[in-house]
């Protein structure tokens, strides 16, 4: 089942087959659970959050048919909670499922992801080792790679992702692994390597939108504006996720295309309402977006909610930035330092810390942080990378 669901082309066929089976056998508990998991995957693949409600219905039906010992339904509910960014609930449900069946690799993957997103890193890495021991493969090696990236070991991250690529036999699994390798190159500022990896992945699966997103980022960084805008429009038309639309709006703003940027910002708000109506928690994304677009109070409220729920390094960075734009620099610096506690090589983290330090008059520290941000990835943001350069130039000139 997991292999079938992982294949985007097989997913629609899987759903149709399950629907036909359930029409004949409406009490098939496991099929209802598998259908719920398939709907959750469909939501992620299409970017359409309305599938989450369908997933909820299918999983609820499975639990009605078998209320006790229903590990597949608990795993499906855990996956749905994680997809909606309710990671505390995802962890609780995954643990309940593991208590019934401790040999389900899909469930263990959800448990690992929930622990990571909650910022419980030692527990997450221990559970990840159990996942590797249970079922080495693309899902486990991908998570090993991410664990190395979080800890700043980029060589280890690349090695683990290459292992994932070696055991990836389907075109979509290979495309996924190549995209992740491209992201590792992009996040380190290696445009040529990133472009090659994104292109190689596209040859494996032309329909995999993240690869076109990667190519659009590289084109924009290289100044190939027409190509970048063309590819970005395709990305947004086919997969208008809030994250993609925010990045596209920032690119448009950096190019002085203010009217087009405002149109994308309207789309962001519409998407926000759509996702939140489907039960998706967007506090982390909105905290950063609002902080960068003059809605300081909203940013801080969203960041506080996110920090109350989970203590990941990404949430702590967003909380630091929201505190900073609201003038709470001392607390902001404490959290900016906390965001780097694992040693994550993030240009955005370093930029946020540098700007906070600059605001506090810590000139030497600010220079160091801003230099580090631009050394990690001078293209990390079409809006904020130039701001980092200007701030560093001002510090170097004594301002």
User: Domain limits of the chain?
Assistant: 1-135
Q: Range with the lowest mean pLDDT among 37-41, 88-92, 177-181, 382-386?
A: 37-41
Q: Which long-range contacts (CB under 8 A, 24 or more apart) does 60-67 make?
A: 61/32, 62/29, 62/30, 62/32, 62/33, 62/36, 65/27, 65/28, 65/29, 65/32, 66/29
Domain 1-135 coded CATH 3.40.50.200: no
20-24, 41-45, 248-252: range with highest mean pLDDT: 248-252
pLDDT of amino acid 10: 76
φ, ψ of residue 183 in degrees (nearest 5): -65, -40
Q: What does the pLDDT average to over 83-101? A: 97
pLDDT of amino acid 25: 87
Q: What does the pLDDT average to over 15-20? A: 92
* Statement: residue 177 has pLDDT above 90: yes
Report pLDDT digits (tens) over 58-77.
999 999 999 899 999 999 99
Name the one residue in this structure whose structure tokens are 């939140």.
276
Confidence of residue 13 (pLDDT cuts 50, 70, 90): confident
Q: Are 261 and 252 in contact (CB under 8 A)?
A: yes
* Statement: residue 3 has pLDDT above 60: no
165-174, 271-280, 353-362: range with highest mean pLDDT: 353-362
φ, ψ of residue 274 in degrees (nearest 5): -65, -45
Q: What does the pLDDT average to over 255-262? A: 96
Confidence of residue 399 (pLDDT cuts 50, 70, 90): low
Report pLDDT digits (tens) over 288-302.
999 999 999 999 999
pLDDT of amino acid 379: 98
Structure-model confidence comparison of residues 26 and 382, the more confident one:
382
Q: What does the pLDDT average to over 223-245? A: 95
Q: Indicate the average pLDDT of the chain.
A: 95
Report pLDDT digits (tens) over 323-351.
999 999 999 999 999 999 999 999 999 99
Q: Are 139 and 151 in contact (CB under 8 A)?
A: no
What distance in Å separates the CA atoms of residue 207 and residue 34, rounded to the nearest whole number?
24
What distance in Å separates the CA atoms of residue 86 and residue 82, rounded to the nearest whole number?
5
């Amino acid at each position: 089942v997991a292999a079938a669901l992982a294949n985007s082309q097989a997913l629609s066929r899987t759903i149709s087959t399950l629907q036909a089976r359930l029409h004949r056998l409406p009490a098939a508990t496991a099929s209802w659970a598998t259908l719920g998991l398939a709907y959750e995957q469909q939501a992620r693949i299409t970017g359409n959050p309305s599938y989450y409600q369908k997933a909820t219905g299918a999983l609820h039906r499975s639990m009605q048919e078998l209320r006790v010992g229903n590990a597949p339904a608990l795993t499906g509910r855990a996956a749905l909670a994680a997809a909606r960014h309710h990671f505390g609930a995802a962890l609780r449900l995954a643990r309940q499922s593991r208590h019934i069946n401790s040999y389900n690799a899909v469930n263990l993957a959800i448990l690992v992801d929930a622990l990571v997103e909650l910022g419980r890193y030692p527990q997450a890495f221990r559970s990840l080792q159990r996942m590797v021991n249970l079922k080495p493969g693309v899902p486990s090696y991908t998570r090993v790679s991410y664990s190395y990236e979080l800890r700043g070991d980029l060589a280890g991250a690349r090695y683990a992702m290459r292992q994932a690529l070696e055991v990836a036999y389907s075109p979509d699994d290979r495309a996924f692994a190549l995209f992740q390798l491209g992201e590792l190159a992009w996040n380190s500022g290696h445009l040529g390597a990133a472009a090659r990896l994104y292109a190689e992945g596209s040859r494996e699966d032309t329909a995999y939108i993240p690869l076109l997103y990667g190519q659009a980022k590289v084109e924009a960084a290289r100044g190939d504006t027409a190509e970048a805008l063309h590819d970005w429009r395709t990305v947004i038309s086919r997969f208008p996720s809030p994250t993609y639309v925010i990045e596209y709006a920032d690119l448009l703003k950096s190019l002085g295309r203010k009217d087009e940027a405002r149109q994308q910002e309207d789309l962001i708000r519409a998407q926000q309402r759509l996702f939140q109506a489907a039960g998706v928690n967007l506090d982390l994304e909105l905290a950063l977006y609002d902080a960068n677009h003059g809605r300081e109070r909203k940013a801080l409220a969203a960041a506080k909610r996110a920090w109350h729920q989970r203590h990941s390094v990404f949430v702590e960075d967003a909380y630091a930035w929201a505190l900073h734009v609201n003038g709470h620099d001392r607390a902001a610096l404490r959290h900016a330092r906390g965001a780097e506690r694992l040693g994550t090589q993030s240009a955005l983290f370093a930029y946020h810390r540098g700007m906070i330090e600059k605001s506090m008059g810590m000139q030497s520290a600010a220079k160091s942080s801003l230099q580090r941000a631009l050394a990690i990835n001078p293209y990390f943001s079409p809006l904020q990378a130039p701001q980092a350069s200007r701030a560093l130039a001002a510090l170097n000139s004594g301002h």
